[in-house]
A and B are shown apart, each in its own frame.
Chain A
Amino acid sequence: MLTYTLRRSGQGLLVLAGLTVITFLLEHLLPGNIARSILGVHANPATIAAFDKQNDLNRSILVQYAHFVDQLLHGNLGYSYTQNRSVDSMLASEAPRDVVLVGLSLALAIAIAVPTGIVQAMRRNRLVDHVGTGIAFTLYSMPPYVPALLAVEIFSIRLHWLPSEAPQASTAIGMLEHPAGLVLPVLTLTLVTYALFSRYMRSAVIDTLAQPFMHTARCKGLPERVIVTRHVLRNSLIAVVTLTGLSIPGILTAGLITEEVFNFPGVGLEYFNAATTNDFPTMLGITVVIGVVTILGNFLADVSYAILDPRVRL
């Protein structure tokens, strides 16, 4: 296990290094003048030169990259061209809020999808399965902004039951102090995520139910509850664990539409805005963090396999 962990960590670092090189190069290959794009049409040679000097843009790309790596190794992700704050502070402020919002919806989605998927599979091709499949397909095929806008229209604008915006507190704890504001964005994200997980869970359970050991379990006379909890659930969760591992980086990025509709400035939106405004330090910093989270997510999924299925040898 230790060897595996070290090997995967080494691979992760290599992937991360490659990611920074590719991102850095791609961003600097974009045509045009970065300073002009940030400073606008009123910029002049003096202010452009000052901007370039301040941001090292007057140096070679190799020197710029070396400087970036040096800063990265010192825990400094860079300073936004446009927001007057460091990428570190931006992430420190917004990532925990994303974790609350998207993490909560992910947890809820899994909590609903797993039993739903099991029930549908156990009653395959019956009414409950058809209804579940219909709901899942409807939600899955729906762009996230549709349930988001519908929810706001109904619960905020018409009924005035819930606020149209997510909590505007600048900290994760502050958000939790305004639970009403969390309801609609969490609900929206949960519905969209649930559909995907429930489909995976249903398929996995159907596969598991067809395995020979299931016949053995039934022949042994085990009660259905024990069969489901001890054999079906455990063997079917691998697919969901894989999906969860892949979804972990999405905690930081998957809420883009929700962030736009519910006025919730998160990391995904920051990245989108940085991309459209040529705010390279922000793009790079977020790319690095998401890269790390992706690698970690996959690593955790791999470890989970071994725990769920001892036949898997790391």
Chain B
Amino acid sequence: MRQSSTRKPARAAKLATTAGACAALLGVGGVPASAAASTTSLHSATRAAPSGGSVTYAEDPDAPPNWIMPIVTPSHLQAYNTSNVALLYPSLYVYKSTANGMVLDNVDSPANPPVYSAGNKTVTITLKPWYWSNGKPVTSRDIQFWYNLVRVEKSNWGNYSPGDIPDNIASFTILNSHTFRVALTKAFNPSWYTANQLTLINLMPQAAWDKTSASAAVGNYDQTSSGAKAVFNYLVAQANDLATYATNPLWQVVSGPFKIASWTNTGEVTFAPNPKYSGSDKVRMSQLVEVPFTSEQAEFLALRSGSVDYGYVPAEDIPQESAIEQQGYKVEPWWGWEVTYLQYNYNNKQAAPMFAQLYVRQAIQDAINQPLIAKSVWGGAAVPDYGPIPVLPKSQFLSKGETNNPYPYNPARSQELLARHGWKEVRGVQTCERPGSATNECGAGVAKGAKLSFKMLSESGSPETSAQDDYLKSAFASIGVSLSVDEEPLNSVLAATVPCKSTQDVCNWQISYFGTQGSWNYPPFPSGDQPFLSGSSGNLGSYNSAAADKLIEATLTSSSLANVYAYETYMAKNLPVAWLPNPAFQVSAISDHLKNVVQNPLLTFTPQSWYLSK
């Protein structure tokens, strides 16, 4: 099953300096600019490539694109929406994955690299000479327009996270038509800020959109809070009218490589090249058609009948890979920038005392044979995950602290750990025999007679996930841990997996799995401030570690990559979650005639670089 949970769009970023005013440009996380920042367009290869042709792209099942405004509201923040929006209204900065790691795409980003100053409390940005499709230039005022709307309607912006942008902006100053300065509320790690904050900014045409009704003249309404709210509400109302996406004059003004040719209410979207696109890579195809599907089966049948140029192979059909390849497709996994895990609930009354014990978490992790799951359950379309940084694609963030795998499969060690801490198998379930806080006892809060018996919520609809659940039950049972699994639709699992207090009824969940397409997807800089920082809304299990908090904070404020490694090593060893193999976002099938396709781990796509060969 393909999930509908929010996925952050790929963003671009540029790396900045560390100490003092402007400094050397760095890739995300401190890779030197010479290695990290890309100055070669993804599409440079297309310049000599043939033009024309219609490309058909398969949408995820029951995931018809249904949003167009660059400020994406929370209930529409899905990858299929954000990636489409980016084709029309690019982010200020764009990132991509290269052999050197996750780096800023200097060529395709509409702005020059940001310059940090005043101890990393100020950032100055200069826009490139880009134009809107109506011929007007992209200016600083367009960025200010975005900022003014988001500032007053942040809770209706899907990418909003309390404390982050726009909260961390103290002031926004236009220096000239193409340069603006942003004063930050405190010093931030420039790599993190560019990658995870500035990438959230989209270009929005103030000169066309700053109005409060269709008949009103364009003004400067966004300069006041009430005016900005009125403009936001007007634009949202227009974005709520799917039937007019292809005809509403608002959405005809774009700065991205494509413009909308048609948009049906069933989700079939046709993009045509934007002839005024200012980026370096001009679109070669004559049109891009995104086709909706009601099921993976329907998509696969269409793929087999040859009516799709870029589709996907459902997991259960991966054994037919060679047949698909013989039909003229290249089959390759699309690795997302994400990690996958079992989420513990540290506030569940029954389970929390046990989850709080590191040795219990170690025993569980030791019992999980990740390479076996990746191979047998996922058919190789998953990679073992040992910490909070994605193992694939390779990046500058990955250190030996994680890749060395602190807890390789060793069920004997699991049992030894439990026995050493006063647990004994009674009728097949580990039972606490020696309560107490000493090093050879069960641990604080664990009562005599307590059993290692847990309930797990897991998403239904995926044969692979069900097989993995079966494996986990068996693996846990082999060390005397009882696991009962309740499979429900993904949305139901997400509804139940909420951060909670132990006294709340909703806190009855103990372990949750929602990772058929990855549990947590990252923006370009894979920091832990959302999934693992104490009190963060993304910290679903209420993991609480002062040491982890300190390490996470360091990654947000200091530019040294060593801080990321320290955080990563600690989390790999401390096991806030049980790490599991990370499945590919999808196994793609790409027509042999479709060239220059790059699958961005940030889950956006760049069809402007594709072309059809004869």
Contact = CB atoms under 8 A, between A and B. Distances in A.
Contact of B298 (A50, A170, A260, A276): A260
A226 B301 CA distance: 49
B226 interface: no
Contact of B6 (A30, A42, A275): A42
Contacts of B468: none
A82 B75 contact: yes
Contacts of A38: 75, 491
A152 B66 contact: no
Most B-side CB within 10 Å, residue of A44, A261, A269: A44
A93 B266 CA distance: 9
Nearest to A168: B268
Contacts of A45: 162, 537
B495 A31 contact: yes
A262 B298 contact: yes
B295 A261 contact: yes
B66 A83 contact: yes
B74 A50 contact: yes
A89 B240 CA distance: 12
Interface stretch (B136-144, B150-158, B190-198, B414-422): B150-158
B66 A44 contact: no
Given A44-B161, A50-B156, A269-B62, A32 B74 contact: no
Interface string A30-49: 11111011111111111101
* Most chain A CB inside 10 Å of its own CB: which residue of B162, B494, B506: B494
B74 A47 contact: yes
A197 to B, nearest CB: 26
B476 interface: no
A46 B264 contact: no
* Contact-residue bracket for chain A: 35 or more
A15 B235 CA distance: 41
Contacts of B495: 30-34, 36-37, 278
A93 B75 contact: no
Contacts of A84: 66-67, 76, 239-240, 242
Interface in B581-609: none
A84 B80 CA distance: 14
Contacts of A163: 305, 307
Given A81-B75, A260-B295, A156 B538 contact: no
A43 B6 contact: yes
B88 interface: no
A265 interface: yes
Given A31-B506, A261-B301, A39 B74 contact: yes
A37 B361 CA distance: 27
Nearest to A94: B266
A40 B4 contact: yes
Contacts of A165: 298, 301-302, 307
Interface in B461-520: 461, 489-492, 494-498, 506, 514, 519-520
Nearest to A264: B294
B266 A170 contact: yes
B160 A152 contact: no
Interface in A153-210: 156-157, 160, 163-165, 168, 170
Contacts of B298: 164-165, 260-263
Contacts of B291: 168
A89 B265 contact: yes
A33 B492 contact: no
B62 A41 contact: no
A44 B162 CA distance: 8
Contacts of B293: 263
B82 to A, nearest CB: 12
Contacts of A50: 74, 155-156
Nearest to A44: B537
B160 A46 contact: yes
A156 B498 contact: no
A264 B62 CA distance: 11
Contact of A51 (B75, B157, B491): B75
B537 A157 contact: no
A263 B494 contact: no
A98 interface: no
A277 B495 CA distance: 10
8 contacts: A32-B496, A33-B496, A39-B158, A40-B6, A43-B6, A164-B301, A165-B307, A262-B298
Given A39-B158, A49-B155, A263-B292, 14 more contacts: A31-B496, A37-B492, A42-B8, A43-B537, A44-B160, A44-B537, A45-B537, A46-B162, A84-B76, A84-B242, A149-B297, A260-B297, A276-B490, A278-B491
Interface of B: 4-6, 8, 62, 64, 66-67, 74-77, 154-158, 160-162, 239-240, 242-243, 264-268, 291-295, 297-299, 301-302, 304-305, 307, 461, 489-492, 494-498, 506, 514, 519-520, 530, 537-538, 540
Interface of A: 30-34, 36-47, 49-51, 81-85, 89-90, 93, 149, 152, 156-157, 160, 163-165, 168, 170, 259-265, 269, 273, 275-278
